[in-house]
Amino acid sequence: CFWGGELAYQRMPGVVGTHVGYTQGQKENPTYEEVCSGTTGHTEAIRVIYDPNDVSYSALVQLALDRLGGDVYKLNQVGNDRGTQYRHGIYYHNDEQGKVAKELSKGYGSGGRGVMTEVEEAKIFYMAEDYHQQYLLKGGQSAKKGASESIRCYG
């Protein structure tokens, strides 16, 4: 769920803002229901706003890959969520970010297993509906910087 990733980023020192939404698809301003239909080409995504003086882009990418764990080897799946809207990716905004993302994701491809995490230039990001924003925080989970409680994707 993009909610769990969002909360993990909210807890990371140096991250100053997050939004959940949809990217890498063809339809303008897709709704959650449209994205879930699998017909728009979008994937659920987290936009992370950060202070590069306090946290590196590399650390942000590493957090994403660590949270995916074994799912980096699964196509169109994160946890129990399956479908093209649940493909995982790192969508970069410049060549330097692209290089970092490619290098870090390559490091997971050991033992003959191929990493399925997309590493592509970012396309337009569309904000998800308001009820998706900071969903787990609204549900009572801590977004305190450095918090280590388990993240539950059900609020």
- Beta strand 118-121 with 89-92 is parallel
Residues 130, 136, 141, 143, CA torsion sign:
negative
* Alpha-carbon distances, residue 142 vs 11, 26, 52, 55, 138 (angstroms): 8, 35, 23, 20, 9
Closest CA to 64 of 108, 113, 29: 108
Q: Is 1 a catalytic residue?
A: yes
Q: Catalytic one among 1, 45, 46, 119?
A: 1
Residues labelled catalytic: 1
